[in-house]
């Protein structure tokens, strides 16, 4: 016989070896999971900033073209200033945007838009103030 003969206790891992592997996996997960959730939160904030920028640009173009502010955000989509109304990444609906009406009596309509989310950003500012 060239190799050693196997006895009954040599076939698997010991409980200690399994526990060490489980502890290593747990340590790696405790490092990776918080970073993953921070990355998700940062991505949602970035999407919200971009959506607000797109809506504000569309409102400005609407005003420049037609000489008036839109009555509703749906008017921006109807007149093709945006393909469709973006969904607020925090409220998960497209109709939760907080609308700021124009104070100019000659030009009524929606002058600005903010998020309808009640949460705060990573820098401590409320999304409703963006």
- Element holding 56 (H helix, E strand): helix 15-66
CA distance 91 to 97: 9
Cβ atoms 88, 116 nearer than 8 A: yes
Q: What is the pLDDT along the chain (130 residues), one digit of tens a residue?
A: 455 555 555 678 899 999 999 999 999 999 999 999 999 999 999 999 999 999 999 999 999 999 999 999 999 999 999 999 999 999 999 999 999 999 999 999 999 999 999 999 999 999 999 8
Q: Would you list the domain boundaries of the chain?
A: 16-129
Residue 64: Cβ within 10 Å count: 8
Q: What is the pLDDT of residue 11?
A: 75
pLDDT computed for residue 8 by the predictor: 57
Reference 59, options 95, 103, 107, 113; nearest CA is: 113
What distances in angstroms separate CA 35 from CA 41, 44, 123, one per listed residue? 10, 14, 17
Q: Which of 58, 77, 130, 68 is nearest to 101 (CA)?
A: 68
The set of residues, in sequence order, having a beta carbon less than 8 Å from that of 43 and lying 6+ positions away, is: none
Half-sphere exposure (Cβ direction) of 87: Cα atoms closer than 13 Å:
6
Quote the pTM value: 0.77
- The values of phi and psi at residue 108, to 5°, are -75, 165
Query: Residues 6 or more apart from 23 whose CB is under 8 A from it?
Result: none
């Amino acid at each position: 016989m060239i190799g050693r003969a196997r006895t009954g206790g040599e076939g698997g891992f010991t409980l200690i070896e399994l526990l060490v592997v489980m502890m290593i996996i747990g340590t790696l997960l405790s490092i990776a999971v918080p970073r993953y959730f921070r990355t998700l939160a940062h991505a949602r904030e970035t999407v919200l900033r971009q959506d607000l920028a797109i809506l504000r640009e569309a409102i400005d173009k609407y005003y420049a073209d037609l000489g008036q502010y839109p009555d509703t955000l749906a008017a921006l989509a109807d007149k093709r200033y945006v393909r469709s109304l973006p969904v607020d990444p925090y409220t998960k609906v497209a109709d939760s945007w907080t609308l700021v009406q124009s104070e100019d009596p000659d030009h009524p309509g929606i002058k600005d838009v903010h998020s309808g989310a009640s949460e705060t950003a990573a820098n401590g500012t409320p999304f409703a103030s963006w």
